[in-house]
Homo-oligomer: A and B are copies of this chain.
């Protein structure tokens, strides 16, 4: 029984020395720690900087050690994705009106994933089964739609339609400001060029992406809202 537990051993050198091989006395890694380190890494270096090697270094561990806790890099992305879902604001459901709740949810959902667009392809194919936070969000939103009088069989399609708009809009946030600059070909695209100019002049306040998101969200909310109480009950 040594006086100093092995986990704390960092002798008189500068902390440069690596851990010796073999199972450590207390586990260094777990999923929560990996998730946190991945998020930290992403916020510091972006998704290009999120490599298994960099993640291992962040956790002061050999890259291969990660594979005792996750089966692949995709698995890490899944952990991050599920964590982010817990940041989406669903607090409107149950307190305010359906419209207000959906708007708050949609804006927050878009804002969260605008910072994490590389995860969007992951989500799209992700089975919800092993993503508890994601499941929790869907549960709250589903209940909100049901309570608002949506016909049960339309709830999922309505949520999916909103989500599709949200994911697409998240990409839009990251677009460069001059994305619609038609350059040398401006003469051959007069209507488009004029429309771009007018849009820039019209919506001076706020990001262009916000203008489009607001416009589309209004349309979706009012368009989907008419489905409510289409059933005789309540």
Please list the residues of chain A having a beta carbon within 8 angstroms of any beta carbon in chain B. 117-118, 120-121, 124-130, 132, 135-136, 138-139, 142-143, 145-146, 152-158, 160-169, 171-172, 174-176, 178-185, 188-192, 194-196, 198-199, 201-203, 208-209, 211-213, 215-216, 218-220, 222-224
Do B189 and A138 touch across chains, with their CB atoms under 8 A apart? Answer: yes
Closest to A172 in B: B164
Could you jot down 13 A-B contacts, CB within 8 Å?
A120-B121, A125-B174, A138-B189, A139-B189, A142-B192, A142-B194, A143-B191, A143-B192, A145-B195, A160-B208, A164-B165, A166-B168, A168-B169
By a CB distance below 8 angstroms, the chain B residues around A191 are 139, 142-143, 146
Do B181 and A127 touch across chains, with their CB atoms under 8 A apart? Answer: yes
Of B153, B160, B190, B208, which is within 8 A of A201 by CB? B153
Determine the distance from Cα of A98 to Cα of B48 in the docked complex, in whole angstroms: 42
List the number of copies, as a whole number.
2
Of A152, A175, A199, A216, the most chain B CB neighbours within 10 A belong to A216
Determine the distance from Cα of A19 to Cα of B120 in the docked complex, in whole angstroms: 43
Determine the distance from Cα of A188 to Cα of B142 in the docked complex, in whole angstroms: 13
Contact of A189 with B136 at beta-carbon distance under 8 Å, contacts A121-B118, A128-B181, A179-B125 already known: yes
Of B138, B194, B209, B211, which is within 8 A of A152 by CB? B194
Do B121 and A153 touch across chains, with their CB atoms under 8 A apart? Answer: no
By a CB distance below 8 angstroms, the chain B residues around A215 are 154, 157-158, 161, 224
Determine the distance from Cα of A183 to Cα of B127 in the docked complex, in whole angstroms: 10
Contact of A155 with B199 at beta-carbon distance under 8 Å, contacts A171-B167, A212-B160, A216-B164 already known: yes
Q: How far is the CB of A17 from chain B (nearest CB, A)?
A: 40
